[in-house]
Structure 1
Amino acid sequence: MPIDAALALAAEPRTGEISWDHKDVQLYHLGIGAGLPATDPDELRYTLESRLHVLPSFATVAGSGSPGVISGLSMPGVDVDLARVLHGGQSLGIHRPIPVRGTATATGRIAAVYDKGKAAVLVMRTEVADAEGPLWTNDAQIYVRGEGGFGGDRGPSTRPDPPTGDPDRTVLRPVREDQALLYRLCGDWNPLHADPEFAKRAGFDRPILHGLCTYGSTLKAVVDTLLGGDVTRVRGYRTRFAGVVYPGETLRIRMWREEGRVRVAVGALERQDAPVLVDTVVEHS
């Protein structure tokens, strides 16, 4: 069986040192669409090293050689076809602001394996700490088509009710035709996002945008419009990836204020707001 849940859960965590500097942060920000207009003071805090702030979702790519999704798919007990893999969801807990430059220890393990019948879901957890203590915790939910039915735990089944009423803010974020090609340079080399033939084998008409690119773009929109541009206010961020985005499309990002958090829904404008991110929450101070 390609996935042995017991073996995967019992596997020793993988630990490695990661480091990053302003160039990695700037590349990430450009990869999620920052820098337009290029001379806008609000954009320069994402692109100019002398003013640089780190958007917390940078944690999903920091030290691209760290234990992560691709590494997790090679853990003991996991042997799957990359063309059957989709990123199902992501949650991020921020313990303190991410510095522009840093060296830290990243520890990755498979925290859960769920049997969804026609698919398996792997929860890959990465915990990162530096000399001063914990920095962030990342959980990636990886959906592997055709690997369910092994009699395991189905996992959580409850979902939050969608937000009601008119959103407090709605913004449109265009996705450039080359956005996926640029974002790949942050470390996610899955050919699904660049190779048309591989995309067709995976069931798509053409390469799709990385879910984590949309994830970062959405957080930036929330920070810029409802959190006064202050990246240090973000405490947590979670979402479920409900659909794909194709480079060249436009994201419609709707936001609802609640006490201590912002609820968010993201759709693809050109496809009648086809859902892209759902069950999305940004927790903040």
Structure 2
Amino acid sequence: MLDYEKTKAWRSGAVRHTYTVRDTMLYALGLGAGSDPLDAAQLRYVYEKDLVALPTMAAVLASPGAWMRERSELGIDFLKLVHGEQGVTLHAPLPVAATVVGESRVTRIIDKGEGKGAVLTVEKTLTDDATGQLVAVCEQVLFLRGDGGFSQGQGGDAAAPALPAVPEGAPESMLELPTRPEAALVYRLSGDTNALHVDPQVAAKAGFPRPILHGLATWGMAGRGVVQQACGGEPHRLRALQARLTAPVFPGETLVLESWRIGTDEVAFRVRAKERDLVVLNNGRARMDV
């Protein structure tokens, strides 16, 4: 059973991560950038000439790793963990190469009840090791399907405010983002080597007909689309991005980013898998500099 006190007190300590322009380009390739070799806007992410970093890469830098699996005394059923939501707030443009320091901590654990699971939120601050400047704050929400009832009816922490729904009616703009058949094989090289995304036998045991794309890759592709549509192709203008992961994506599918303007500096969005007409990312909000 999940140990609330031990889990809430968990801290990663300082995780130093040195990444290069090659890592920056590899991350972008994992999100489908460069699929059109004549598109100068895409080449900025995958070619060292005038290279820029996609801001969503902050989510994969200086990761604390599979700490829930390694810390058995926490009592978390790692095999029943599902990535539920992801967010990032940018405080400075992400360098194309740097050494960054990540410090992660658990900020909230909600008990939904016996047989109903628990919800755990992890916050990661990312700073530039050379300057000490805060670069980004990332928030990951995990659904622990096997850990409901740990508080014996006390409920754990209070629930966080729900992500706002997208507006009713047809989206104001749509953008197709094709995924490559080998997308998961490329994206995993940015750090998430879970066999679910590469091994057909592991995928079958998890109930999938074939390996699925990483949820953070779907989220990152949405971020790339938001930068293209709402930030004029300038990644430094993106200030925050958050969304709920609602269904898996199979590599090779076409993602459709559907978005609505909210005022002058905010966009609501969702992502649909075109071939299955299925919403795979929902309750998305992005904020940008005008």
TM-score (norm 2): 0.90
How many angstroms does 1:81 deviate by? Answer: 4.5
1:215 aligned counterpart, secondary structure? helix
| 1:159 to 1:129, Cα distance in 2 relative to 1, 3 A | closer
Is the contact made by 1:72 and 1:124 (CA closer than 8 Å) also made in structure 2? no
DSSP-derived class of the 2:275 partner: helix
**Aligned counterparts of 2:162 and 2:143: Cα–Cα separation in 1:** 17
Structure 1 residue 45 displacement after superposition:
0.6
**How many residues in Structure 1 have an aligned counterpart in Structure 2?**
280
Aligned to 2:7: 8
Distance 1:83 1:10 in 2: 22
Alignment equivalent of 2:117, drawn from 116, 119, 125: 119
Contact 1:85-1:142 at 8 Å conserved across structures? yes
Amino acid at match of 2:64: P
Gaps of 5+ in 1: none
Report the 3-state secondary structure (helix = DSSP H, G, I; strand = E; otherwise coil) of the residue aligned with 1:214: helix
Per-residue CA distance 1:122-169 (angstroms, 9 max, x = gap): 212111112242111111111122211223336236442321343221
Equivalent residues of 2:37, 2:43 under 8 A apart: yes
What is the CA–CA distance in structure 2 between the aligned matches of 1:243 and 1:102, rounded to whole Å? 33
User: In the alignment, what sits opposite 2:237?
Assistant: 233
Mapped contact 1:262–1:283 kept (Cα < 8 A): yes
Q: Which moved further from structure 2: 230-239 or 153-162?
A: 153-162
| Correspondence for 1:265 | 270
Tell me, in whole angstroms, the C-alpha distance in 2 between the residues paired with 1:199 and 1:82. Answer: 16
Contact 1:174 1:248 in 2 (8 A): yes
1:43 has 2:39 as partner:
no
Question: What is aligned with 2:137?
Answer: 137
CA-atom RMSD, angstroms? 1.8
SS, match of residue 39 in structure 1: coil
Distance 1:13 1:185, change over 3 A: closer
1:189-231: per-residue Cα shift (whole Å, max 9, x none)? 1111111222222232221110110111111111112211010
Q: Deviations over 1:91-147 (max 9, x none)?
A: 101111011111122111222212123212221211111224211111111112221
Distance in 2 (CA, whole Å) between partners of 1:87 and 1:48 is: 31
CA distance in 1, matches of 2:70, 2:122: 12
User: 2-side partners of 1:27 and 1:276: how far apart?
Assistant: 24
Q: What's 2:177 paired with?
A: 173
- Give runs of ≥4 in structure 1 deviating > 6 Å: none
Taking structure 1 as the reference length, what is the TM-score of the superposition? Answer: 0.92
Structure 1 distance, partners of 2:253, 2:220, is 16
Are residues 1:284 and 2:288 paired? yes
Q: 2:84 aligned with 1:99, yes or no? A: no
Instruction: Give me the whole-angstrom Cα distance separating, in 1, the residues matched to 2:9 and 2:238.
Output: 33
CA separation of 1:190/1:105 partners in 2, compared to 1, >3 Å: closer, same or farther? same
Residue of structure 1 equivalent to 2:168: 164
Which residue number in structure 1 is paired with residue 55 of structure 2? 56
Equivalent in 206, 210, 214 of residue 206 of structure 1 = 210
Gaps of 5+ in 2: none
Match of 1:190 among 173, 183, 194: 194
Change (3 A) 1:223 1:39: same
Quickly say closer, same or farther: Cα 1:158–1:40, change in 2 above 3 A: closer
